[in-house]
Amino acid sequence: MKIFYTYSARNNLVKLPRSVQKRIAVKMRFYVSQKNPLKFARRLINPTEGMFRFRIGDYRVIFDIDRDNTILVLKIMKRDKVYA
């Protein structure tokens, strides 16, 4: 499985503190290395942007899964702002 960050997700990631960026990157590599990364994800109830989310501390990674088993990261934001 691979990870692909959209332009807006990369911008979200760059705006975060360096320590949070590293934490998210390490955790995303962990998820991708697993046989079934969706067991760590939650399906969103009202999927306006993506179908799933990963919880990494106070941050949420909103994503979809492509046909070729690619995690398409759409948004990375703090929990209180991501769903607004």
Cβ count near 78 (within 10 Å): 13
What pLDDT score was predicted for residue 84?
Answer: 66
Question: What does each of the 84 residues of the chain score in pLDDT, given as a tens digit?
Answer: 889 999 999 999 999 999 999 999 999 999 999 999 999 999 999 878 889 999 999 999 999 998 888 999 999 999 888 876
Query: Is residue 52 within 8 Å of 63, Cβ to Cβ?
Result: yes
What pLDDT score was predicted for residue 50?
Answer: 87
Give me the domain span that covers residue 63: 2-82
Rounded Cα–Cα distance for residues 1 and 8 (Å): 21
What pLDDT score was predicted for residue 71?
Answer: 93
- Can you list the alpha helix ranges (DSSP code H) found in the chain? 7-14, 18-33, 79-82
Q: pTM (2 decimals)?
A: 0.90
How many structural domains does the chain have? 1
Cβ count near 74 (within 10 Å): 19
Instruction: Give the Cα-Cα-Cα angle 46, 3, 41 (nearest 5 degrees).
Output: 40
Question: What CATH number does the domain containing 62 carry?
Answer: 3.30.2310.20
Instruction: Give the Cα-Cα-Cα angle 39, 44, 47 (nearest 5 degrees).
Output: 135
